[in-house]
Amino acid sequence: MKKQGLILTEQHGKHHYDRTNWYALSDEGGHCFAQEKITEEDTQVRDTGNIQDKITIVEKQLKKLRFFPLQTSQRKELAHACKTFSLAQISQALEATAERAIFAWKYAYKILLTNQNASPTKLKRKIIRTEKLPDWFQQGEHINVAKVPEEWNEETLIKRRRLLEIQEKYQQQKKTTFSFT
C-alpha cells in the first residue's frame, strides 16, 4: 500500500533509537477507503412483516460497510435482530460500529442488545415499614437513659486530685528539662 501511494509513513521519534513508524492515509487512500453512507431507500422495506427482506437489506449494508463475512451462528443472530429490531435501529448500530472501525457483526449485535436493555426504566420499589415500635420507645424512656447524672463520691475526688498533682509534676519536669537544652 505504501508503494501504491495509499498510505504515508514517517518517523517522528526525537531519539536515534526510536524507530516507531507513524501511518496515515494519503489523499488517494482516503478516497479508496471512504465509506459510503447508507441511503434511506436501503433501510425501507416494502413489506415490514417479511423478515427475509430485512435480512437481505442488512446483508447489503454489511457489504457496503465492508464488515467481515457472517458465520452460521451470526446469521441466526441477524435473523433474531431482524425480528426484534427495526431497520433504523439496526442501521444505527452498524454505522456506530463502522465509525469505531470495528467491522464485526458481533459488536453491532451487542450494541443492539444493550440499547434495548437500557430503554425500559426500572421501577423502584416503594418501601413501607409495618413493624410496631416497642412500648418503652413510645413512652420516651430511652431519652432519659443517656442523661443519668454522675455523682462524685469522696474516693473519686481524692483519685482525681492525686492524678492532677502527678500531671502538674510531670509538666514541670518537662519544662525544666527543655530549658537546659
pLDDT in tens, 143-168: 555 444 466 788 888 998 999 999 99
SS3 for 35? coil
Cβ–Cβ < 8 Å for 87, 43: yes
* Residue 155 φ then ψ, to 5°: -65, -45
Q: Which residues neighbour 78 within 8 Å (Cβ) at sequence distance 6 or greater?
A: 55, 58, 59, 70, 105, 109
| 30 and 44 co-located in one domain | no
| 28 and 56 co-located in one domain | no
| 6 and 76 co-located in one domain | no
Quote the pLDDT of residue 31.
66
Residues of the domain holding 95: 40-118
Kindly state the average pLDDT of the residues 124-139: 69
Please identify, among 102, 118, 134, the residue that sits at the C-terminal boundary of a domain. 118
Neighbour tally for 9: CB within 10 Å: 10
| 76 and 114 co-located in one domain | yes
| 45 and 30 co-located in one domain | no
| pTM attached to this predicted model | 0.40
Distance CA 88, CA 128 (A): 43
Domain count, the chain: 2
Kindly state the average pLDDT of the residues 98-109: 86
Task: Report the percentage of the chain scoring pLDDT > 70.
Answer: 69
93 within a domain of the structure (yes/no): yes
Instruction: Please indicate whether residue 138 or residue 4 has the higher confidence score (pLDDT).
Output: 4
Please identify, among 118, 144, 164, the residue that sits at the C-terminal boundary of a domain. 118
Q: Is 101 left (phi over 0), alpha (psi -120 to 50) or beta?
A: left
Cβ–Cβ < 8 Å for 15, 3: no
Q: What's the pLDDT tens digit per position in 86-102?
A: 898 999 899 888 888 88
Quote the pLDDT of residue 178.
62
Neighbour tally for 81: CB within 10 Å: 21
Distance CA 142, CA 161 (A): 34
Split at pLDDT 50, 70, 90, the class of 30 is low
| 14 and 44 co-located in one domain | no
- Please provide the size of the chain in residues: 181
Cβ–Cβ < 8 Å for 23, 7: yes
Cβ–Cβ < 8 Å for 106, 75: no
| 54 and 76 co-located in one domain | yes
